[in-house]
Amino acid sequence: MAVPWYPRSCAALAAALTLLLVTGCGGGDVPSPAVESSSPAVGRSSPAPGPLSSSPAAPTPGAGPDGGGSVEEDIQAAVSVTNTYWQTHWSQLFTSGYGPPRVAGAYDGDTPGTPVCGGAPLPDDNAVYCPDGDYIAWDMDLMRWGHARGDAWVYLVIAHEWGHAVQNRLDAGLVDLARELQADCLAGAVLFGAAQDGTLTFEDGDTEELADALTALADRTPWTDVSDHGDASQRVSYFSRGARSGVKSCLPTGVQ
């Protein structure tokens, strides 16, 4: 993904979405179900992955058709694009005012001194929105591992965690019980909305990378509980709904 060159046409976006929908349910070649969570205190609902950095399937960083930005540059761009989207559109969507969460940034869950959220250290190889402190943070191992698969990874993770910050700013009635899937939907709305705004450009392969990332980060079982992320097809489906129909389509039925 790149920031920003030119607005993409709606036709190109529609084609990209079709690709996303088609490729999203495939899965299969993902080595481990790396789980990310909105709440670091919540245990993983699927088997814990091995260390992300040791995955033999991870491709060489910088490979592929991506723009070639470093993981740090892409993270910075993703933060900027996501915040700009919400800042621009918030007043069209909600009656309250918008303020961004704090971006605490990178941590290393492997080392002593990991930041805490609600008294617990932030989880290894994960990314979080911490309501206690209203901040977003990510383990750089997760970002590096995902970025090596494709730069869209970091955009998804940032937009998803930002979605949790948004949930925390909304009335309870606007927050879906399936919080993780709603955060995916909001991420789709933001990234594709940003493309329509001209603040983000999709490059060849980005939609496949998004589907790959959603699949890699999915649970192995379908959503049943508020802490679940949902399985791969559910995550792709919710992300795609937001991408296709925007933020309002992510709100619970009846309040849209």
Name the site residues for Zn ion (rule: CB under 5 A): 38, 180, 183
Taking the C-alpha atoms of residue 110 and residue 162, their distance in angstroms, rounded to an integer, is: 24
Vertex 106: Cα angle to 177 and 48 (nearest 5): 55
Closer CB to Zn ion, residue 123 or residue 193? 123
Encoded tokens for 241: 């709904």
Residue whose CB is less far from Zn ion, 208 or 219:
219
The smaller minimum CB distance to Zn ion, of residues 3 and 187, is found at 187
Q: Which two tokens stand for residue 51?
A: 């260390």
User: Which residues are within 8 A (CB) of 44 and not within 5 positions of it... i.e. 6 or more apart?
Assistant: 35, 37
**Would you state the structure tokens that stand for residue 187, as one six-digit string?**
């991420």
Q: Shortest distance, CB of residue 225 to Zn ion, whole angstroms?
A: 14
Quote the CA–CA distance of 143 and 149 in Å, as a whole number.
Answer: 10
CB of 180 or CB of 208, closer to Zn ion:
180
Residue 30 Cα to chain centre, angstroms:
17
